[in-house]
Structures are given as structure tokens and as C-alpha cells.
Amino acid sequence: MSQLDPLKSTIGGFAVHQACTRPDDVFCIFLALGGAVKEITYDELLSGALRYARTYDELQVPSGGVIIIILKHSLDLYFAFLGAILSQRIPSILAFPSIKQDPALYWRDHQQLFCRIGASVLVTYAENLPIISRKVGTLDLAVVTPEQVLSAEPRQPDQGCIDQIAFLQHSSGTTGLKKGVALSHGAVLRQVAAYNEVIRLGDGDRIVSWLPLYHDMGLIACFISPLVLGVPIVVMDPFEWSVDPLMLLDAMERYRGTHAWLPNFAFMHLARAASATDRRYRLEHVRAFINCSEPCKPESFDEFLRAFGEAGITADKLQVCYAMAETVFGVSQTALSEPARSVVADRGSLADGRFVPCPPSKSGRRLLSAGAPIPGVEVRVVSDDGRVLGEDEVGEVAVRGPFLFSGYFRQPEETAKKLRDGWYYTGDLGFSHSSECYVLGRKDDVLILNGRNYYAHDIEFFAAQVAGVKAGRVAAIDLFNRAQGSQEIVVLAETLLSDPSCCDPIIGAVRRHLMSALGTSVRVVLVPSGWIVKTTSGKMSRKENARKYLESTLPGMYEVL
């Protein structure tokens, strides 16, 4: 840990401190496509950031102005973000569109977001500008391109104040309505300090990550926290990682990486990729793979251990974290010294709202603990009518602590819905058992896929736009596909066509449209007219539709609550 006190300084203060005390130490090793490796020191990180800061000055971006960063995973992403912080502007990184997303739709939706939050600057590539001006018209903000920054002289850093908003983390959902989770320097640094009391990163540690920076796990665990703590990182592009997952383990081996944070699906993705190669890894030096941001499955750990046991991965190296942007990052974390705990729950009792251990004669549902709350965090479980529930009772998880967000940026009404009497209501369902948190899924209609959240009604809305799908007769649900070993979004859609042989093109059309509009891949199941279950008041019951769909699938195909 650096000598600076995280409870008194700012993120900018730490960036400057690292550049002064260890200027020539490598902070970030960036693995680019085709095997190219770029290294930057703390000093280079600071000067790269201060070039962006100068460019923002030249555009007369006001203090507190919002700077939107839409770049591929690259060193410029780190520079542009930190440059905003070091000049008292508020950066926010948004996902770069995948090649399969419709650029016109993407930029039109983002234009709405830029307007609503009053963004001052967009940092993106020059090649995006023609399509923006053609499809969106003139953006009411200044544009900065990485090329433009090259010639800028680094300016003096401005470290800012502890209570100021440091940056925004945008949630998922319809782009125009995305909520910007506003986080102060103080909240971020108190989180880093508290989380590190459990993780204990220090000398000799090195984090390896493929995670995107628009997500809390990539931004906090694999950029801000390592920067504050002076722990080097090895990073790669998420798109490249998804097609060549083993590059993460190559990097962990080659650079002696000690920690990686991964969503649950990534454990499966790595295990599967390994099963198809003869490559043998030496990973004895790894301290922890931490499963975070999706419901964590013991089956995924089993699979990972089978694939990498020989490489030196043991059960005590597979850990679980429960985290969210609204608490900066971690809420709870399993102890790194022992295997994550798990329980086997009686399925019927869980459905009735209570954890009861499953008798040995029955097959229950295995659940992984997400560990004990990290220092300073209080977790409680509440019922729908606001009662605080006891141990083992299932309800909504609410959290309180010294690093809660300052609110949703410019959305006081949304903030008031979720932040009440100092407690943040997470929308996650779970229970507490032996002082540890167990998280089961979502209370609302948020669907989780590959660590990202989607709103069911967004998916249904776009699916219903496709010709051949009956409007208002679509249900989007998420299920854990046991055969695939991963979470899957299933779109149940009623079709007007009676001839099933004509239906394949509709499946493709819905999948293509959702990929283009939301960048997400779903399973489309066409059902006959009248299949979708609605309540008498005409409301969609996703739970009922999920139950009905499960009855029609092969037993054991999906994990059932």
C-alpha cells in the first residue's frame, strides 16, 4: 500500500503519487492483436493522461463537465479517463459497438444519452465521425480523437477534492435511459481500502484482465484499485479474448499473474477452450480467480478445477465476490485462505422463500457463498413489505456502507427509488447464512447475460419489431443452461405463421435484430398463437412463461430454482 492515506486523498492524488515515487515501474502491459506488447510506466500513464487533460482545457470544457469515452480497449482509454479526473472533469466510459451492432442505431441512441446528461465532450475515433454526422447530425458536444491528443503538452495535474464526483459508471438498459452511477473520490478510495483488507494485494502481485472498463469489475478491480495500490496490470481487449480465451492464461503464465476477476461464464469458457487443446499450463503462482458479476455456479468451479487442476489450480484459489457499481465495487467477498463455502438447498423451500438444507436423500440446488460483507458494509435482507428478514429467509438484498454512490447522475427520482434511508436496495434476491451472503438472482426483470444486465422489456420490445412476431406476445427470460454451462436469454415469441417450416428465417431475423440493436445474442423459441401466459389484467408474467417453457424442454437442460 502506498503511503498516501486513501481516506484523505483523491484518485488523482494517487496517480500523481505513483508517478513521483515509482516513475519507471511498469503499471500496465497491454497485449494487442497479433501479439504486440505495449508497456507503460506510472510516469507514462500520468503524462498520457495529462495530454488529454490539456486537450480538454483547450476545448474549454468546464470543471465538472462530463466526458464520454467510446474507444476500443487501448491505452488511450486509460489516458482519456484519468486525464478527465486529473483536470476535474467527470469521465464515463461506454461500450464500444461490436462489429455486429448497427452504427446508426447505436449513435442515435447515444445522442439521446449525451443530451440528457449534458455531456461536454465525446472521445472517439475520427473514423466514427462521418457516420455520426450522416445518421445523427451535429452532436451538441466537442469531439476529441486520440490523434489530436498526440501533439498536446501534458499540463499540471489538478488532484480535486475528496467529496467531488470522480466519474460515472453507466448501467445497462435502453441507452437513452441508462443511469449514470455517480461516485465520489472518497467513496472509491474507501472501497479500495476496505476491499483490500480482504484481498490483500501487495508486492509481487499482478492482475491479469480481459474485462471491459465500462463495467465496475474491469474499471475498479482491474484499473483504479491497482493504480491506487501500485499493483501492475496485464490487460487485453474483451472482443479478442472472447474468440481466444486462453490468451488470459497465457498472460497469467508468462507475466506471473496472481489475480483475475471473471464473470461466471468465463470459467466455463476457459475450461471448454482448454479441453480442446494440448497446451499445459503452470499456474501454481496464481493466488485467486474471483467469480463476480453473475450468479456464481459451483458447477462452473467444478469444471474449471477439472480443466486446470493439473496446472496447479486448487479449490482454495477459486473465490467469489458480490459487487455492484452503486457500492463502487465489492459488497462481500469469500476469504482467500480457504475454498468458497457452499450449501445444498432444498429446492421447494427456496421457492417458498426460505433456505433449508436439502436432506441427503433428495437432490437439492447447490449454492456458492459470496462470502462475508467486506469491512464497513452492512447487508440486510428485506421482504416485499419492507420487513427486515432473519437468517436463511429469502428477500431483497439491501446494503449500507461508507462507499455508497452519490446518486444517479441528474436522475433524483431514480435515485430516490433505490436509495432510501441510507440503504441501497439492490434488486437482488438472496439470503444470509452463517454471516455470509448467498445471492440467488434478480427480483425485478433484469436479465443477466455474460456479466451484463439487460431489461426484459427492452428485449421484448425489439423482438416484437420483427415481421412475423406478434406484437405484445413476447416474453424474455434468463435461464441457466446446464448443457452449455452458462446463462442464456430465451426469447419466447408468438408467431403469426402456421407453417413451422417457414419459421427459421424469423428466428434469424429476431437474433440479428437484437444483436444489431442491443449487441446481445439470445435463443429464440417460436411458440404458437395464444401460448404466452398473461394475467387477467393483461400483464406479462415472465415467471409463468419460464415455468411453461421449462415444462416443454428436456428435463435437466436448465437449472430450476
Partner 1 sequence: MSNEVVVTRLAEIIRDVFAVPEVAISDTTTAEDINGWDSLSHVMLIVAIEKQFGIRLRRAMLYELSNVGALAELIEEVSGGRQHEGESPEAS
Which spans of this chain sit near partner 1 (rule: CB under 8 A)? 33-34, 98-100, 239-240, 242-245, 265, 269, 272-273, 276, 450, 483-484, 486, 504, 507-508, 511-512, 515, 521, 523-524
Smallest distance, Å, CB 330 to partner 1? Answer: 26
| Cβ neighbours of residue 399 closer than 8 Å, sequence gap 6 or more | 327, 331, 373, 377, 378, 379, 380, 423, 424, 426
- Are 321 and 261 in contact by the 8 Å Cβ rule? The answer is yes
Q: Which residue number, 404 or 476, has a Cβ lying nearer to partner 1?
A: 476
Q: Which is nearer to partner 1, 33 or 388 (CB)?
A: 33
**Of 221, 222, 155, 180, residue with least CA distance to 67:** 180
Query: Phi and psi of 384, rounded to 5°?
Result: -60, -30
Compare residues 139 and 515 and give the one whose CB is closer to partner 1.
Answer: 515
- 237 or 460: CB nearest partner 1: 237
Q: How far is the CB of 454 from partner 1 (least distance, A)?
A: 14
Contact 321, 333 (CB under 8 A): yes
Residues 6+ apart with CB under 8 A from 266: 210, 245, 451
Q: Which is nearer to partner 1, 62 or 500 (CB)?
A: 500
CA distance 219 to 211: 8
Q: How far is the CB of 99 from partner 1 (least distance, A)?
A: 6
Residue with smaller CB distance to partner 1, 133 or 521? 521
Residue 267 burial by Cβ neighbours in a 10 Å radius (0-12, 13-18, 19+):
buried
Instruction: Choose between 342 and 481: whose C-beta lies nearer to partner 1.
Output: 481
Instruction: Enumerate the β-bridge partners of residue 261.
Output: 290
Q: Is 329:191 a contact under the CB 8 Å cutoff?
A: yes
Phi, psi (deg, nearest 5) at residue 104: -65, -45
Residue 278 CB, shortest distance to partner 1, in Å, is 11
Q: b/e string for 313-324 if b means 16 or more Cβ within 10 A?
A: beeebbbbbbbb
Checking DSSP bridges between strand 26-31 and strand 233-236, what pairing results, if any?
A: parallel
Separation between Cα atoms, residue 161 and residue 77, nearest integer Å? 23
Q: Which is nearer to partner 1, 98 or 465 (CB)?
A: 98
Neighbours of 100 (CB within 10 A): 11
Question: Using an 8 Å Cβ cutoff, are 344 and 418 in contact?
Answer: no
Least distance to partner 1 from the beta carbon of 523, Å?
Answer: 5
Query: Which residue lies nearer to partner 1 by CB, 108 or 523?
Result: 523
Shortest Å distance, C-beta 21 to partner 1: 38
Choice between 243 and 467, CB closer to partner 1: 243
> Is residue 268 within a helix (H) or strand (E), and if so which, with residue range?
helix 264-275
C-beta of 417 vs 512, nearer to partner 1: 512
DSSP string, 305-350: HHHHTTTT--GGGEEEEEE-GGGSSEEEE--TTSPPPEEEE-HHHH
* Closest distance to partner 1 from the beta carbon of 270 (Å): 10
- What is the closest distance, in whole angstroms, from the C-beta atom of residue 73 to partner 1 in the complex? 14
Task: Find the angle CA(397)-CA(402)-CA(404) to the nearest 5 degrees.
Answer: 55
Task: For residues 233 and 222, give the distance between their C-alpha atoms in angstroms, rounded to a whole number.
Answer: 7
Q: How far is the CB of 543 from partner 1 (least distance, A)?
A: 23
Can you name the residues that pair with 489 across neighbouring β-strands?
A: 478
Q: At closest approach, how far in Å is the CB of 515 from partner 1? A: 6
Q: How far is the CB of 392 from partner 1 (least distance, A)?
A: 35
At 457, list the grid cell: 422489456
| Of 92 and 486, CB closest to partner 1 | 486
Helices (H), 59-90: 75-85
**Min separation Cβ 164 and partner 1, Å:** 38
Q: Which residues contact 77 (CB under 8 A, 6 or more apart)?
A: 69, 71, 93, 213
